[in-house]
Amino acid sequence: MYWPSGSARRLSAAPAGLPDVPDVWLLLTRTALLVWRTRPAELIAVVERTPRGLAQHGENVRAVWRHDAGAISVQTTRDALLFYDVVQPAESPVVHALSRADAPDLAPSMTALLATFQPDVGDAIHTPSGDPLGPRCALHVSLRHALHVDPGIAAIAPVGPHLLVATRTPAAVQLLPWPGLPESNETQPPVLLRDVPWLGDAPIVQAEHSYATDLSAWLTSDGCAYVVSLTNEWRGALAYQDRAAPVATAVNARFSLLALGLDDGRIALYEFQTSTQTPLRTHELALPRTLGESGTVHSLSWTPDGHALAVGWAHGWALWSPFGRLLAHSFRDDWASTTRIFRDTFAFGVKSVFWGLSGTDLFLLPTDARDAWVHVLPFVKAASTLHMTPQEAGAALLLNNDSVYVYRGLEQSDAGLLAPDSDAWRRIALPPSYATTQWPLHYATLSADGRFLAVAGRRGLAHYSTSSGHWKCYENAAQAQAFRVRGGLAWFQHVLIAACDCQGEVQVRLYSRDQPLDNAHLLDLCVLSAPVITLQLFGANLLVYLADNTLVHYVVTTTATRIRLQLCGSISFDGIIGEPARVRAFSWRPSPHHVLQDDLAQASLLFLIDGMLVLLRPVRAHDADELSYDLHILHEHIEAYWMNAQAQGPWPYSLWGLDGSHMRVWLDPKAPPLRLALPDEAYPLCVLLDRGLILDAESVSSVRRTLDTVSFRVRLHTTLFLDSVIRTWLQEQGVDEAVDAAAPYASLTYFPHVLERLLAAVLEEEADARPPLPVSEQCLPTVAAFLDHYACSVAVVARAARKTEATRWPHLFACVGAPRTLLAHAVRTRDWDTACALLLVVHTLDEEASSIAATSTALARMEQDHAWDSIRQVLSFLATMDEHACHMRACLAAAAHEAPQSVFVAWLEAASDARVASTLPAKQAPLAPAPVTSTEVKPRGPASPRKAGLGDGPRRPSRAARLEGADDSRLAESRASPAEVLHRAARHASLTLSPSITRMQANGRVVVGPATPGAAPSPRAA
């Protein structure tokens, strides 16, 4: 998938349309044409119209390329077609004079061309030796001839060797030959639209042709959209007709999708197969209302591989996945924080948008007429967009123009995975010699152990060792240029397997990482009968799917002297798979009753065809030579899928597929899928099965007053799926099976959190159900039985209870047990955090006498364990239960009765007077004593006076010492002076008051002195 990264750069121009062709692209202004090379970014041709030509033919309106990029046709305001030839001189790669259309002698100087070029990192103008001004490559762009169309031009589009011209009056279509192209023979007669039965008489206002599908999309002036093809005659079907008029189109051949941009800002997606079948509307793309108004759609563009759709609106831009996941956008509410010289005006509106050849550069033309720049936004993309390998569920590779990013999260601890903002990526720069000559990358793969990386561009290949940090490339340039990787790459241990097209011969090659990259060091080479669509490696089994609809099975065999491919067999899928080119990926699931190397005919197969995930189960016929398959469509809108291809490990052969909005999980292909929610604007990169996580990525943009551009970066998320899967397992398999399935994850540090999420989700669903669910349909008792298998179950229940509403507690504790029983268990196991959490439940659900008894027991045990922080929490809660702290006194009295030598006796007397209690704030910090090592205290004499806040560590006196010397007169005096009572109680309890606070009425806090040496740390008041 695709995410913006870094900041946009700018290329000088003022274009009105941006058609995309391989390697070069065109900027069209009203009076000029500018041809640019994509990488390195350089201006290679300029054609500026003369005043005479503008007066005669009109200004430029629209331009299209010929399918082979050898010519350009320009539509003008005076209904003229200007045909330009685009030729690279054969006699010399250096051309000093770039042609102009109407005045060849007035070409701009090379100095002017250099002034318009803004080099980026790694970009430069290459010049031959001895010629400091000559560019490395330039084109001749010359006017061949002009053609005036009297009926008026409504739209133009290249269709094979012809140029489609749609006229206004009368409304008609006509195919014109491209001048100088041998395939286009003669002009075909025009066809009036009113004579086409499936088409109305409204003129065609826009046309787009897809060479991959050989279909066209037409928009008419009455707000309709059609899918059209041409054989002997024009054939088509109505795709759209509604109140909102379509204004932009984009055809996705990879997913067989047609995107229609509407004038109200929405994008409608249609699935199409042929021009005679009515396209099926699958879904709709629209920004959330919280992001603001987008305005009308101006431009649409799919990535070259079809995995992302860029949308340019009147008020911004956005990026979507094929089936509706929002990946990035420019709509935010903090634009006011930008600098006054902010230059990324494309964030506020895009007039035209298209992708570069590799899909790692997005070209955007702002709607702001004052911005005469084309903005190029860099992107990173997942390697799965090039070659999907479902069995490598835990691998994550990201690519850009010059680097590969390898995910290193599997090397981190469990806590590191849940906090993936740490350095989780390793950047590996491509070898400059290879990246310069063979850009863009077509394939990239990582070995299972993460030691080896391989990439393949236009020609040849290269591989890298993460341990040594060295690349290996072909030393013989002729050998590298003689083949290109087509079909995929895969690592088998240290052996690289590559499907190649070598001068028309289809080969599967085996390279050793330890040997130089040279044809003489090939480990093995197999020749195939048809081009490779895709290949997959399962253990030592190599499956190769060919363009002739055949699946070939090899086994990688190793001996003491060599490694080679052994052919095991093949299966033809004629009659099952209609178009092999539409297969994006496949997997197998061997039968557990057969030997792995011999069970291709017994294995179930998964095929991803466009967006349809299909399961094929073999059915052996009476004739042993015939094999048939039962076909099951698992889902129709899958963007990517992953699977556990091994029989070992958690959930063997489980299947994970993304449908654009949710993750679908098939634990058993025969059962309905489980649906998992994903974070907004996050897209899954891989499934970490052994960690119970889905790794997601999202684009994050930042705007600052110190920057004049938006900065983008990729941020990672982790989504837990264990709770949802365990719940499904409980409902369908039972408790024992769920315990076995969860066993591999029980050692994870965040497994208690998984159990808490499971319990909370089931509780909220069942407690809020209206009408209440019958007992037979409730899942909470099953979840409670499942939790009993884990030592942390009581803590899980307590945390789940405290995080949910109290109205759900009766339903929860009716299933998991009485809260007082759980509290007693927490006290026995000295789990004081859980005990504190359960005390609130006990005081809410139980009777007063029962809750007081449970609290007193807990307080006594906490004091014995010196759990002063927990005591502080309990007393804070008790102090808030009533205005006069009556409930707290009752609990302290019960605790003092249970432990007569405890500190609670002094606390009880400090809070025994009603007038003292009435002066305490409702939410005061509790009195917190310090522990002592002995209960016997020597009485202090007059020679050692102690002041408030001074002295050595606090000590807890015995009950006898505390009562010694206390007479009725002093007690009567204390009742008359509440502040003195509190001072005296604090002194007898070895608690000291802050020296700056002399009266309790001033501040209700009591500060504990330093701890006695050798005792546990004493808590301090806030």
Amino acid at 444: A
Mapped onto helix, strand or coil, the DSSP state of residue 813 is: helix
Tens-digit pLDDT profile for residues 834-846: 998 888 888 888 8
| Better pLDDT: 991 or 85 | 85
User: In whole angstroms, what is the distance from residue 379 CA to residue 446 CA?
Assistant: 21
Amino acid at 794: V
What pLDDT was estimated at residue 420? Answer: 56
Residue in the structure block whose two tokens are 């119209």: 49
State the burial class of residue 168 (Cβ atoms within 10 Å of its Cβ: 0-12, 13-18, 19+). Answer: middle
Q: Which of 103-107, 307-311, 773-777 has the lowest mean pLDDT?
A: 103-107
Torsion of CA 465, 470, 476, 478, to 10 degrees: 70
Tens-digit pLDDT profile for residues 158-206: 998 899 999 998 999 999 988 887 766 677 789 999 999 998 889 999 9
Closest CA to 292 of 333, 262, 261, 326: 333
Query: Which is it for strands 524-528 and 505-512: parallel, antiparallel or unpaired?
Result: antiparallel
Tokens of 728: 């499904």
Q: Is the dihedral of CA 970, 972, 977, 980 positive or negative?
A: positive
Tens-digit pLDDT profile for residues 88-140: 754 333 222 222 223 223 333 444 444 443 333 333 333 333 334 344 446 78
What pLDDT was estimated at residue 549? Answer: 93
Structural contact between residues 454 and 462, judged by C-beta atoms closer than 8 angstroms: yes
**Once rounded to an integer, what is the mean pLDDT over residues 13-21?**
41
Task: Kindly tell me if the per-residue pLDDT of 739 is higher than 70.
Answer: yes
What pLDDT was estimated at residue 599? Answer: 66
**Once rounded to an integer, what is the mean pLDDT over residues 522-548?**
94
Tokens of 683: 């897209």
Task: Kindly tell me if the per-residue pLDDT of 908 is higher than 70.
Answer: no
Task: Kindly tell me if the per-residue pLDDT of 14 is higher than 70.
Answer: no
Average pLDDT of the chain to the nearest whole number: 79
| Better pLDDT: 925 or 622 | 622
Residue in the structure block whose two tokens are 């200007």: 82
Percentage, residues of the chain above pLDDT 90? 40
Long-range contact set of residues 770-773: C-beta below 8 Å, sequence gap at least 24: none
| Better pLDDT: 411 or 84 | 84
What pLDDT was estimated at residue 604? Answer: 87
Closest CA to 675 of 653, 695, 657, 696: 657
Confidence of residue 705 (pLDDT cuts 50, 70, 90): confident
Task: Kindly tell me if the per-residue pLDDT of 511 is higher than 80.
Answer: yes
What pLDDT was estimated at residue 302? Answer: 95
| Better pLDDT: 849 or 927 | 849
Task: Kindly tell me if the per-residue pLDDT of 616 is higher than 70.
Answer: yes
Which residues are bridge partners to 490 per DSSP?
Answer: 497
| Better pLDDT: 267 or 688 | 267
- Per-range mean pLDDT, top range of 170-184, 429-443, 909-923, 991-1005: 429-443
Tokens of 947: 């002041």
Q: In the chain, how many H helices and how many E strands?
A: 21, 54
Task: Kindly tell me if the per-residue pLDDT of 782 is higher than 70.
Answer: yes
What pLDDT was estimated at residue 12? Answer: 65
Task: Kindly tell me if the per-residue pLDDT of 1011 is higher than 50.
Answer: no
Tens-digit pLDDT profile for residues 26-83: 888 888 888 887 777 777 888 888 889 899 999 999 999 988 888 999 999 999 999 9
CA distances from 558 to 164, 276, 493, 596 (A): 57, 52, 11, 16
Task: Kindly tell me if the per-residue pLDDT of 603 is higher than 50.
Answer: yes
Structural contact between residues 379 and 360, judged by C-beta atoms closer than 8 angstroms: yes
State the burial class of residue 432 (Cβ atoms within 10 Å of its Cβ: 0-12, 13-18, 19+). Answer: exposed
Task: Kindly tell me if the per-residue pLDDT of 556 is higher than 90.
Answer: yes
